[in-house]
Structure 1
Amino acid sequence: MSTSPSVAVITGASSGIGAVYAERFAARGYDLLLVARREDRLRELASKLEALHGISVQTLPADLADESGIQAVEEALRSNERIEILVNNAGTAHIAPFTAGSAELHQADIMLNITALTRLSLAALARFQAQDSGTIINVASVVSLHARAGSAVYSGTKGYVLNFTRALQEEVAGSNVRVQAMLPAITATEIWDVSGVSMEDLPPAAIMTGENLVDAALVGLDKGEAVTIPALHDLTLWETYEKARLAIFESCLTGVPAPRYQEK
């Protein structure tokens, strides 16, 4: 029987939130498989983490907005039985009016934020369920809960991530497989460099560091939270939201149109 450490796979690992997840899981003794487009940054991070933590790091340069990139990571998830954690962190945002973006730009965003996350979750979860162990962390966003002008595609994709993750949680309930949705708010990462919004235009007090975000998210994971929102201080707001959301769903199971929609 192998005594090799378990492996954590982290997408979008070359910077920002993904790089912090890589460091934190390395500190916990996991070997790593780091996925991102920028091979030079992956190699630099791999060397640093191997030296600091004495773990083994593999790198897999892949563009998850491209079919071949998705397939490469799918194959790694299916073939490496040591993989116990998948962090679906890779994502992008373009903040602008919907009609200002091309169909090709929107499709690329959907491919990365939805298609890649879905297919990598499938590749990992099939094996995690078979072995009754494993963890998937899906990075969504607080815009899963509230969309604003200029974020139609980004908010839409992150809303998908949250609902997709909720459904997976119900499917693995009662097993030793864990699926967490993590919802960052405004976070200091390089996503702003491509988003069309400068961090200089954001309220400084609202910006969380990637380190604080991931550390809080991992506390939530360790506590068994299904949905973790690191920036939310008043938990009763979430509890009220969840109660109302479920009540709305259950109240719709009547088969009868509401009186306000019935002609008099």
Structure 2
Amino acid sequence: MSKLALVTGATSGIGKAFAERFAADGYDLITVGRRQDRLDQFAADHPDVKVRTVAADLSTEEGIDAVASYCVDEPLEMLVNNAGVSHYMPLADLPADKARDLVNVKVLAPTQLMRAAVGGMQRRGSGTILNVAGMIAFSGPADKSVMPRRAAYAGTLAYLVAMTQTLAAEVEDSGVKVGVVCPGVVATEFHSSQGLDMSAVPRMSADDLVTGALRGLELGETVSAPGVEDYQLLQDVFTADLAAFGGQSPRLATRYTT
């Protein structure tokens, strides 16, 4: 029996590269995206693979619920939460509808799909959840000279990192793996769709990103960063996080009392 993978945002870029890799590895696929024509083309291009297409908009509750039902009902071996929207702008300039779309796609949808899938994976003793965030998740301490400004976007990616780390601890020793991959700049439609010309910027290929993400899972990295050569840099971040978490006290810190 073939293993089953569900990939969101599978019509282009990183999501399509994941779907291509899983198809080559013999997975059956549930591909999710907003454009039915692209979903159909992917299925037509892979006649030797069982591909089910789900046209759904994960910026809407209806779209999230529709995809979550597959996560509950189907024996997923792999769930990739990749769908994204490219709303790069300062918070004061971010229209309310775009802010809602961003949070729905990068926070609410992954949360609901993970919640729907993880119970079945635990009962089966097998399964992998992989979230796609980005190195921007670590950019919060940067000062105002770092552009473009993108507070809401960065915040959603930081949420995915913390959510993944915490869920990985929850399912430890259950047979379920949970990871998050943090790309840097990748050569996809993501930037061109918002009118940004990145042709002069060195970019990783989507295929290399997928290779790094899957190898990171094999290495036991809950947070993988395919473009970071020295993984100790990330380990230092996590060590500092835990030091701050462990350094709390019920007493008011003296710097607030003087």
- Name the TM-score, length of structure 2 as normaliser: 0.93
Letter in 2 for 1:105: K
Q: After the TM superposition, which residues 22-101 of structure 1 pair with which residues of structure 2 at under 5 Å, given as runs? A: 22-50=19-47, 54-81=48-75, 83-101=76-94
Deviation at 1:239, TM superposition (A): 2.0
Gaps of 5+ in 2: 141-145
Q: What is the alpha-carbon distance in structure 2 between the residues aligned to residue 107 and residue 211 of structure 1?
A: 30
Deviation at 1:196, TM superposition (A): 4.9
Q: What is the alpha-carbon distance in structure 1 between the residues aligned to residue 152 and residue 196 of structure 2?
A: 15
Letter in 2 for 1:171: E
Gaps of 5+ in 1: none
Q: Which has the higher helix share?
A: 1
Spell out, residue by residue over 1:65-94, the C-alpha distance to the aligned partner (whole angstroms, 9 max, x if none). 11221111111111123x211000001121
Spell out, residue by residue over 1:189-210, the C-alpha distance to the aligned partner (whole angstroms, 9 max, x if none). 111133453324xx523x1111
Q: How many residues align?
A: 252
SS in 1 for 2:77: strand
Aligned-CA RMSD value: 1.4
Q: What is the alpha-carbon distance in structure 2 between the residues aligned to residue 63 and residue 25 of structure 1?
A: 23
Deviation at 1:257, TM superposition (A): 2.2
Q: After the TM superposition, which residues 142-161 of structure 1 pair with which residues of structure 2 at under 5 Å, given as runs? A: 142-147=135-140, 150-161=149-160
Spell out, residue by residue over 1:181-239, the C-alpha distance to the aligned partner (whole angstroms, 9 max, x if none). 11011111111133453324xx523x111111111111111222111000000122122
Q: After the TM superposition, which residues 190-201 of structure 1 pair with which residues of structure 2 at under 5 Å, given as runs? A: 190-200=189-199
Spell out, residue by residue over 1:17-37, the C-alpha distance to the aligned partner (whole angstroms, 9 max, x if none). 000000111111111000000
SS in 2 for 1:64: coil
Residue in structure 2 matched with residue 240 of structure 1 by the alignment: 236
SS in 1 for 2:22: helix
Q: Is the 8 A contact 1:96 1:196 kept in 2?
A: no
SS in 2 for 1:186: coil
Residue in structure 2 matched with residue 128 of structure 1 by the alignment: 121
Q: What is the alpha-carbon distance in structure 2 between the residues aligned to residue 123 and residue 241 of structure 1?
A: 30
Runs of 4+ in structure 1 displaced over 2 angstroms? 193-198
SS in 1 for 2:70: helix
Residue in structure 2 matched with residue 17 of structure 1 by the alignment: 14
Q: What is the alpha-carbon distance in structure 1 between the residues aligned to residue 110 and residue 236 of structure 2?
A: 29
Q: After the TM superposition, which residues 211-222 of structure 1 pair with which residues of structure 2 at under 5 Å, given as runs? A: 211-222=207-218
Residue in structure 2 matched with residue 188 of structure 1 by the alignment: 187
Letter in 1 for 2:82: N
SS in 1 for 2:183: coil
Q: Is the 8 A contact 1:95 1:197 kept in 2?
A: no
Q: Is the 8 A contact 1:121 1:136 kept in 2?
A: yes
Letter in 2 for 1:22: A
Asked if 1:115 corresponds to 2:108, the answer is: yes
